[in-house]
Structure 1
């Protein structure tokens, strides 16, 4: 135990001594009493930060991404930030919690500005996801890819990545990411499903001064900064299995597991009392699906009045669910950071999409402060999601994202 504590302290100390400079991006966050004030604060902070470099947001930024808490009026925020920064492409979505340079946050906005000298960005909005078609998705992805390729040297295609922000209540994530990814060839994609602070009612996409529901934002980036995508979780399969024997596939509702009422059988399998099931229970006891020799979490959203279970991810009758065993969340997350740093060298910034159930589980097990400190030490920004995108997969209870390095050794802080 003492050796583990020493390692943890050393890791945090090492990260804290790194230079404050970020490579290719400007990150600010604000927490104000209302959406209008938060938007103005974000714009003012960006102007102040860029003024130190002799720049303005208009001259410096290729685009701005805002992750906005659901307690703010999203339409007001979108209109005000666009009014403050009318000449900058602005994208974003609502959250179930924010990841700032100070760690986990709530009731705030975190904004990431991408410098024009390091990034080229192309955006495509997908609307009416309830009527989404695979061919439509492939065509949209091909169009966005072609638009990006027209702006960059042909030899630089390996310096591109995608980000998908999608309505967290659309229930179409799997179809969308699968269709888009098939048109991207070797361009990796990461992203997250928008949240609404666990209300499960409405989530919003932001593009410039407008907001959208039943929609997704596809962003394609080209950069001269080294990067790598990542995926991290902390579960392993057990021998306990459950088969989905009755389900409403469109609504992602499981009515029966092993031919028994779903909530009752789930509680029995994980060793809980059915009446005690809540979001924290599901965060601590996810189920897994095996795909291609690997296991991915399929998290439960809630228990319904009839004893059925609503899921965050797609389900189907006949699907085999495996009860998961939790590993050490801190150790597994730290191992992800160490792996990225072994690959890239020093990491300037992690843009992360962190499932809200990971945060709930950390709070329940009283390690939220430690994990938040770890995120702060490694400079993670992003938001808590209702689901995560990683390459061609939509997953749950996972931490995905992109690590941005430094352009050359001379520019890396010691």
Structure 2
């Protein structure tokens, strides 16, 4: 825990902290003791369901008067020390480097596309009033991970923001898949999303990383419950049986670890995106994390080395951006499960620690207008030219 007298008074860039204190009160105090007393544009909180979300957001908001606090619950945390569980991670954005405007979206179960476009446009206009141009702007989106409306929300918001890049994640609930929470105005909200637009003079670049390649094996969704994201039949056969045949496994093996190792892909605009399965139902149907549709063609995926793919992405970003101060990351929980199952979780965690990839494990990732699975998305923040290393 940092001495309050040693806090920096004029912060710069993004400050990343974490706490594993046992109680809400202790964790909120620990986080705040590591942050500067003022000069912050906002604080983002990524909170394990180990803590009560209502009590935590109330406690930390009370300790940070005048500083906007946002965030969500997680399925695991990407901390400054690598992958964590049962922790809270905080990202504090310095007011000297960032201008922030936000818009909550409540009642996602009744979400209308025209309303999403209106809210996105209004927020963009508010940011323009703070600075005048769209240059140097990116957006973060945090969404209730159980809402099953991510595709409609992202499509509507993206359409209203012109060329402003968007990244984000769907809030998590460990591996319980019961209820997730988004934080705004000192309260925890379910059935809600948060759009945050950020202008910065620092260099930045959105990124996306996965480790799957398409094979020649195809499956067509021939019967589905679209609202519930449930596939009942693939290729006119029971969904679980046909999926197992296509990826070459026994149906007795179906569990979250196997789904993590064998996602399916959809092709959109010439690129492939992962569509991951959440669970198998007793009737042999498959519930997905992302929207599905009858007639959708699913491609069985081939896995490549996750660590190598992440290293390639990090090198590409640095080649483009120069020195990076932090990677703000939103990573599918299935990537972590796959790493744990195949015993390279420690190597991935150390890679994230060494490269300052900080954020949370999600129930889905946002990138541009897309809601995807089994992916690491985010934004890399560079350093100001001439700043000390």
TM-score (norm 1): 0.90
- State how far apart, in whole Å, the 1-side matches of 2:109 and 2:244 are: 32
Q: Aligned match of 2:93 in 110, 114, 122?
A: 114
Does 1:175 find its partner at 2:152? yes
From 20, 24, 34, give the equivalent of 1:35. 24
C-alpha distance after superposition, 1:297-333 (max 9, x if no partner): 0000001111110000000111110000001101110
- Aligned to 2:77, which of 86, 95, 98? 98
Q: Distance in 1 between matches of 2:272 and 2:107?
A: 31
Instruction: Give the structure 1 partner of residue 369 of structure 2.
Output: 392
Q: CA deviation at 1:34?
A: 2.2
SS in 2 for 1:158: coil
Give me the whole-angstrom Cα distance separating, in 2, the residues matched to 1:388 and 1:94. Answer: 14
CA distance in 1, matches of 2:19, 2:383: 26
Match of residue 18 from structure 1:
none
1:411 corresponds in structure 2 to 387
What CA distance in whole angstroms lies between the structure 1 residues aligned with 2:24 and 2:149? 29
TM-score for the superposition, normalised by structure 2: 0.96
1:186-201, aligned counterparts within 5 Å? 186-201=163-178
CA distance in 2, matches of 1:79, 1:327: 43
Q: C-alpha displacement at 1:23, in angstroms?
A: 5.3
Distance in 1 (alpha carbons) for counterparts of 2:67 and 2:310: 34
CA distance in 1, matches of 2:388, 2:117: 38
Tell me which protein shows more helix as a share of its residues. Answer: 1
Structure 2: runs of 5+ lacking an equivalent:
1-10
Alignment length, in residue pairs?
Answer: 379
Q: Distance in 1 between matches of 2:242 and 2:157?
A: 36
Question: Could you tell me how far apart the structure 1 residues matched to 2:150 and 2:350 are?
Answer: 31
Aligned-pair distance for 1:274? 0.6
Is 1:276 aligned to 2:265, yes or no?
Answer: no
Distance 1:346 1:139 in 2: 37
Specify the SS of the correspondent of 1:336.
helix
Match in the other structure for 1:255 = 232
TM-superposed deviation, 1:38 = 1.2
Alpha-carbon distance in 2 for matches of 1:208, 1:85: 12
Tell me the distance in 2 between the aligned counterparts of 1:200 and 1:263. 20
Segments ≥4 residues shifted beyond 3 Å = none
Helix, strand or coil: the match of 2:34?
Answer: helix
Secondary structure of the structure 2 residue equivalent to 1:366: coil
Match of 1:159 among 111, 123, 136: 136
For 2:60 and 2:80, locate their aligned partners in 1 and report how far apart those are by CA, in whole Å. 21
Q: Give 2:51's aligned residue.
A: 72
**Selected match of 1:148 from 127, 131, 146:** 127
In structure 2, the residue matched to 1:7 is none
Secondary structure of 2:130's counterpart equals coil
The aligned counterpart of 1:209 is 186
- What pairs with 1:238-249 in structure 2 (closer than 5 Å)? 238-249=215-226
For structure 1, the 5+ residue unaligned runs are: 1-21, 51-55
Distance 1:86 1:267 in 2: 54
1:36 shift after superposition:
2.4
The Cα shift of 1:412 comes to: 5.2
Distance 2:16 2:209 in 1: 23
SS at match of 2:378: strand
